[in-house]
Structure 1
Amino acid sequence: MDIDLLLTLFAGTILLLSLFSSALQRISLPGPVLALTTGVLLGPAVLGVVRIEDLGVPTGELLEQAARITLAVGLAGVALRLPHGYWRRNRRWVVASIVLGMPVMWAVSTGVLWALLGVPFLVALTLGAIITPTDPVVSTPVVTGSLAEAKIPRRVRYDISSESGLNDGLGYLFVLLPVLLLTSPETAGQDLLVSVLLREVLGAALFGALAGYLLARIFVLAKNRGLMEDSSYLGFLLPFALLLLGAGKLLGTDAVLAVFVAAAVFGQVIPQRDEDQEDAVEDVVNRFFLLPVFILLGLDLPFDAWAALGWSAPAVVLAALLLRRAVDLLVLRPLLRRVHSVPETVFLGWFGPVGISALFYATLAERMTGNHDLFVYTTLAITLSVVIHGLSTAPASEWLRRREASTTS
């Protein structure tokens, strides 16, 4: 395929979406929705201008690596937004949403999919794990930008960021359990404990913390000695995320989790940065990395496989998506009464999108198990979530603003 055609189509789409990003956000048409639509229009389903197979890389590998890199860069930006002292002041939310919230969401999504979708239990368990984490990259319109700052309380934005960052990294542990049961049931328990939990997950946390602290001290030293300009922050963020992603993988750890932990530690050690500047940097980075992945996904959406599932499959997948989050916040509400008001809890219970992280885990699970149904169902979930959560961002944010104003009055 002609590289110039790809550059024109991909860069032109990103340029147009960037030019009108503010207007599109106000009318609740965020970038992921339009990028996904663009991919569908350009792909074989409509115009047939571009086929993902023509890019010269196996489709599964291309999507997995593109999602992995996008997720790492997005997680680094999310972690760096959190203010100094956030983790200490908000440990109740962090512990509740991760230690209790993730198992609840996994159980609810698995139960709905197994009961109503008619797939084997281990497949439902894998799908439930894939869609359990909330996506930090798709959540960007809710945590950054003029719409978020005007209508969504800062504590809600920070809590969405921290939860989505942590549960995306820890999602690896949840996904690998059913994958190991499918591929090597005899040694699944030992592999999960020794290889996954101890080496990959805990190893990632330790490596990320040490690397984040060391890089933060180097960053502060360079800034204090006048060795780098303020404009170098963006140039530092990208290699920071990619360095940790590559090194974490080479060390055999959960590299995605390592990136988030490193960025979280890094952000607490370096001097507090201006939120507007952080949002601007994160917005640029996310737009540059996020939109191409959704265009790629739009090129490869399995419409024929979806049609073969019947009309009930989208309804079941959507029920699993929405109920997992609503039940989770309902269960956690007694623990969060002093953390979030009722309107904030309702908003958090609605806004639990899936996207890049689900795509990454789906392609990973498909590669390890050879089960293509995982990709088919997950892409259906991603599409439904991107459309429904994306189109509801503006009205849900306005509803929260009005309820908060009414409560304050």
Structure 2
Amino acid sequence: MDINLVLALFAGALLVFAAFSTVLQRASLPGPLLCLGFGALIGPHALGLLRMEDFGVPEGTLLEQAARITLAIGLAGVALRLPHGYWRNNARWIAVIIGAGMAVMLVVATGVLWWGLGVPFLIALLVGSIITPTDPVVTTPIVTGSMAEEKVTERVRHNLSAESGINDGLGYLFVMLPVLLLTKPDQAWHELLTKVLLWEVLAGAVIGAVAGYLLGKLFVLVREHGLMEESSYLAFIVPLALLLLGAGKLLSTDAILVVFIGVAVFGQVIPQREEAQEDKVHDAVARLFLLPVFILLGMALPFGEWTQLGWVAPVVMAAAVLVRRLVTLWALRPLLKDIHDRSETAFLSWFAPVGVSALFYATLAERHTGHHEIFVYATLAITASVIVHGLTSAPLSAWLQHREPQLKEEKETAA
């Protein structure tokens, strides 16, 4: 492999997309969608400039590790953006959308896949669990940046960010159930409750919280005593995310959850930030980590295997991605109507994309079970989601912006 070709292609694409980012976002062409298309263009099914084999690492390993690191950086940015007191003030939203929401989305997605694809129940359950979490990377265009701040209310952006962060970490618990049932049916429930739930998830959350608290106190201490040459939190965030990711994995915990909990606690311990310009710099740095994984995925898309599935499979996968969220949000609306009005509920019921987290769990599940069709179905769902949610981000954000003042006027008139 010629590393210079990789650098030129990847960096060149990111440079062009960054140069026209505002225009592209307003045209509903966000970075993940463009990078996915660019990866498919330079891959073996089009121009053939690069192949996954050229990297000298097994395709599944490369995608899994790239997705894992991308998730860590993305989740760190999400967690750090949440204002002080967010978790205490929004406990109801988190309890409902995570406690009941993830279970309902899993049931709906599994039902659609089992009925529509005709696959064995455990395969449907596994793919359903993979696409259950809301992806923090694909949601980036509607929770950060000028368009998001202009058109999407703050509570919607914060609630969608918090949800995507937590459910990405907890998605591990959902994914491991069908994985264990497929690989260790006699020990599945015992291992799920003891090893996975008690240690990897719950103990991982505690480890992340403690680490985030201690590192937050360290940040405050060194900043107050002038021991840091650079007082910016930006110098901390990427190393902090990677430290928690690596340490969490070394301790055999759910490292993705460790990262989000750790950085969320870190963000609540350090002083409330008001550095708007610094946030823009962090967004630019984050894009360097978040977008390349979509180029890799575009190169690895199994177009030949999708063709063999016929036209039904993409329709079913798109339906599973969309219906799982629509049913869940409107079913839970009686519990959430005091938090989000109907317009915000409609917006949130549409925007629950799948992306990097689904790629990570799909490659992890394929590695554990050996079922390659999991990767085929999951990448089909990711592609459908990136296209549908990407193309609708700008018009629906504009719709929400115009709808909110109307609702306020209606409330004032009714009062």
Match in the other structure for 2:344: 344
Show the 5 A alignment for 1:305-320: 305-320=305-320
Letter in 2 for 1:205: A
Alignment check: 8 A CA contact 1:73 1:238 kept: yes
Match in the other structure for 2:121: 121
Query: Match of 2:46?
Result: 46
Q: Give me the whole-angstrom Cα distance separating, in 1, the residues matched to 2:256 and 2:46.
A: 34
Q: Deviations over 1:194-213 (max 9, x none)?
A: 11000100111010000000
Q: Does 1:86 align with 2:102?
A: no
Give the equivalent residue in structure 2 for 1:66.
66
User: Does the 8 Å contact 2:366/2:374 carry over to 1?
Assistant: yes
Unaligned runs of 5+ in 2: 410-415
For residues 151 and 359 of structure 1, what CA distance do their matches in structure 2 show?
29
User: 3-state SS of the aligned residue for 2:406?
Assistant: helix
Counterpart in 2 of 1:214? 214
* Residue identity matched to 1:322: L
Contact 2:73 2:290 in 1 (8 A): no
Deviations 1:272-326 (A, max 9, x none): 1126346414422331111110000000100000000000101101110000000
**Contact persistence 1:137–1:286 (CA under 8 A):** no
CA distance in 1, matches of 2:281, 2:235: 10
1:244/1:259 contact within 8 Å kept: yes
Q: Is 1:77 aligned to 2:46, yes or no? A: no
> Does the residue aligned with 1:392 lie in a helix, a strand or coil?
helix
User: Where does residue 412 of structure 2 map in the other structure?
Assistant: none
Tell me the alpha carbon deviations over residues 155-186 of structure 1, each in whole angstroms, 9 at most, x when there is no partner. 00000000000000000000000000000000
Letter in 2 for 1:330: W
- Contact 1:74 1:285 survives alignment (8 Å): no
Q: TM-score, normalised by structure 1?
A: 0.99
> What aligned pairs does 1:189-268 form with structure 2 within 5 A after superposition?
189-230=189-230, 232-268=232-268
Instruction: Report the counterpart of residue 381 of structure 1 in structure 2.
Output: 381
Provide the identity percentage. 65
1:5 corresponds in structure 2 to: 5
> Which of 95-104 and 12-21 deviates more?
12-21
Q: How far apart, in 2, do the equivalents of 1:316 and 1:20 lie? A: 34
User: Taking structure 1 as reference, are residues 380 and 275 closer, same or farther at Cα in structure 2, changes over 3 Å only?
Assistant: farther
User: How far apart in 1 are the matches of 2:386 and 2:287?
Assistant: 15
Aligned to 1:369: 369
Q: Residue 180 of structure 1 aligns to which amino acid in structure 2?
A: L
8 Å Cα contact 1:81-1:275 kept in structure 2: no
Name the counterpart of 2:413.
none
Aligned residue identity for 2:79? A
Gaps of 5+ in 1: none
Alignment of 1:327 with 2:327, yes or no, is yes
Seen in structure 2, the aligned counterparts of structure 1 residues 104 and 282 have a Cα distance that, compared at 3 Å, is farther
- CA positional deviation for 1:228: 2.1
1:253 is paired with a residue whose SS is coil
Structure 1's 191 and 277: CA in aligned 2 closer, same or farther, altered over 3 A?
farther
Separation in structure 2 between the aligned mates of residue 279 and residue 363 of structure 1, nearest angstrom: 32
Query: 2:139 touches 2:353 (CA, 8 Å); kept in 1?
Result: yes
CA contact (8 A) 2:26 2:147 kept: yes
Q: What residue number does 1:139 align with?
A: 139
Q: Distance in 2 between matches of 1:291 and 1:231?
A: 27
Q: 1:282 to 1:95 in 2, by over 3 A?
A: farther
Could you state the TM-score of these two structures normalised by the residue count of structure 2? Answer: 0.97
User: 3-state DSSP class of the match of 2:332?
Assistant: helix
One-letter identity of the residue aligned with 1:200: E
Q: CA RMSD in A?
A: 1.0
**Superposed CA offset, 1:71-111 (max 9, x none):** 01110110000000000000010000000000000000000
In structure 1, how many angstroms separate the alpha carbons of the residues matched to 2:118 and 2:284? 42
Specify the code of the residue in structure 1 equivalent to 2:12. G
Q: Partners of 1:229 and 1:273 in 2: how far apart?
A: 18
